[in-house]
A and B are shown apart, each in its own frame.
Chain A
Amino acid sequence: MLADPLTATFSALADPTRRAILARLSQGETSVTELAEPFEMTLPGISKHLKVLERAGLIARGREAQWRPCRLEPGPLKDVSHWVEHYRKFWEQSLDRLGDYLKELQAKERKQRHRKKSG
């Protein structure tokens, strides 16, 4: 016998632990272990709650084992690291040039000071 969606949702939300789990998941996907951490609960205990939430359609779980780590789509993450590498090159070269420029500046200053002394 399947409960109507409203009943399932209400009973899923009626438990403070399950509400806390939902709050945590709204911040991003995570593993069952991480979810269990703030509560003094065993993994099977948390899994029971997750089942209720899943049946109510409030969460989706993968078919893999419990140890699903926080995972982002590889596409966007790859784009970001490509950009970061590009950005790092910019700074490596700019700072190389800054180093050279500072040497030049100080050499000029020393020459000017030397001229003043002997002038």
Chain B
Amino acid sequence: MSARPRTFSKFRDVQAELDLIGAAIYRDEDGAESLIVRSPYAINYVHSYAEDSPFFLGLAEGRLRGSKCRKPKCGFVYGTPRSHCMVCGAPTEWIDLPTKGRVHSWTTCHFGSEAFLKETPYNLALVEFDGVGSLLLVRLKDCVESDLYVGMPIEAKFEPNPRYSITDVWFVPAR
């Protein structure tokens, strides 16, 4: 067997070799050689949703929840959880958002972070709801790039086996 990994002087080539066999030798400009290896690295991230908890619990019940400013004179309505109003600073209360809305803007991601790379291309949309003064960013499924347009009516779908993450909700073209 050949015990010695291959040697490269460009880091891009080292990266490719690591993808392939997990080890490579990098030779720098001065001719110094270093063995580079790739080892798996993972951690569990334990965190609280704190004041946002009702939002994620709501998704599990098939409810989409936003926030409304408690001050009657203001009453600004947000399409996402906000504990305090960004317009007047007063505390907010939870409200149920409509499950139907329209595409305010959209993109199709042909690239993504590692977790989503396998799913590319996928669509992201900012949803606008009637009577709501801010937007909600969601995945838009069951449609492709050429189907999408600003103003397109869409509706929410919920994950039957919730994982208590934002991926518990996505939108599809409204029927």
A binds B: no
**Residues on B facing A (Cβ under 8 Å):** none
